[in-house]
Amino acid sequence: MAQKAAKSLAARNASTLNRTHLIALVLHTIYLLLHFTFNRPRSLKPYFLLAGPTLLIEFYLERLGRPRYTDDGNLRTPGEDLGATGLTEYMWDVIYWTWGCMVSVCLFNDRVWWLWVVVPLYSVWLAYTTFTGMRSGFAGMGGGSEQAAGAAGGESKRQKKLEKRGGQKVQYR
């Protein structure tokens, strides 16, 4: 049963990578043809600066997710799951966003490359939300508001109720 899952993952990865390479080839060819055919006052600097990392990401995903076979045709490794969440998902987002920017630049002009600024801003937002989520997760491990307030001399609601009923007062050392 595990071999079946590995084979389906290998087939899915191979088709995803082939489709990705084909779309990238078509988009880059169209962009370069339009650049050299119409000879608009386009600079290739933004293209190389912004599409270059996408090509590096694409080749990294190729290396990561391409299934490997033995000499006799058996599946050796299916590759990593290209549909995984986390960093892999972020890399796909960067690829898709760059493709959208390339299509927009082909249709309009080079100023549309400024849309690519959204990618670093999105990265900063993800890092911030991850950090604040981790910080609130650590709050229950001793840095929480009730425990910290109790240790500093304040009392929690539970302690106040116990004292109101005549229970013993909690002493801190």
For the question of whether the overall pTM of this predicted structure is more than 0.85, the answer is no
For the chain, give every domain's residue range.
2-121
Beta strand residue intervals within 50-93, DSSP E: 68-69, 75-77
Tell me the C-alpha distance between 127 and 19, whole Å: 30
Tell me the C-alpha distance between 119 and 54, whole Å: 12
Each of the 173 residues of the chain gets a pLDDT tens digit; together they read: 568 888 999 999 999 999 999 999 999 999 999 888 886 666 788 889 988 999 999 999 999 999 999 999 889 999 999 999 988 998 999 999 999 999 998 888 888 888 888 888 888 888 888 888 777 777 666 544 444 444 555 678 887 887 787 766 656 66
Name beta bridge partners: 53.
none
Structure tokens at 123: 């990265």
